[in-house]
Structure 1
Amino acid sequence: MSCAKVISQFEVLPPGDLGRRRQWTDAEKIRIVEESYRGHRQGSAVARRHGISRALLTQWRRAYHKGLLEGGPTAFSPVEIAVDPRPAMPGTPPAAEASDRIEITLANGRRLSVALSIDADRLVRIVRVLEQT
């Protein structure tokens, strides 16, 4: 005679803990996303192992690639190098103007002109703010 055994996994929550949501730090999200990229077809297994849905892991992956998670990779935008069509100001040598500044055209059409010596982290924060608004 076969003996069928039903085993279910569930968690008993205390009465004051109903409707709770876990709070994941950006560092934890980055660790889980990077773990999901190791090996072949690891997304579902990693999501199951950490008790999150595959859809949530996909959202975290998108945010990771866009650079929205603190400490994640920096997002890059396509760059086009072109000659400035505007004439140089009288009295200013054109070589000096072009050599110490860079102009960036953002995806939303805004143009940003910054010094070449600008700190990369500061520039990333500025671009993020300008692309959001």
Structure 2
Amino acid sequence: MSYSTLITGPERRRRWSEDQKEALLAQAFGPGGNVTETARRAEVHTSLLYRWRRATLAPAQGFAPAVLIGEADQPAPLPGPAIVVELPGGVQIQVMADAPADLVAATLRALR
């Protein structure tokens, strides 16, 4: 004997537009908002609303623009001890000796 189960309810893996997410976040976290009630009405788990809020509030990831100050041919000397890295093509990078090690390592990795 075989049987089948029919699961009713919202489709899993629904797609939410940015406008829909913003509206739900405003309902949940706005003045007089209630996360549990908003999640129940939208038929989503409360953790999804918190995840969307974290993603909205998180700073954008990416590269910061580099700004060249002074002449490219002659870098201005840094005050105090510095590490000078010369790259192929004659490009020089000066790093203050007291710069954090993780910042120097990330910079050098990026220039590889």
Q: TM-score, normalised by structure 2?
A: 0.42
Q: TM-score, normalised by structure 1?
A: 0.36
Tell which has more relative contact order, 1 or 2 (C-alpha 8 A, sep 6+).
1
Q: Which has the larger radius of gyration?
A: 2
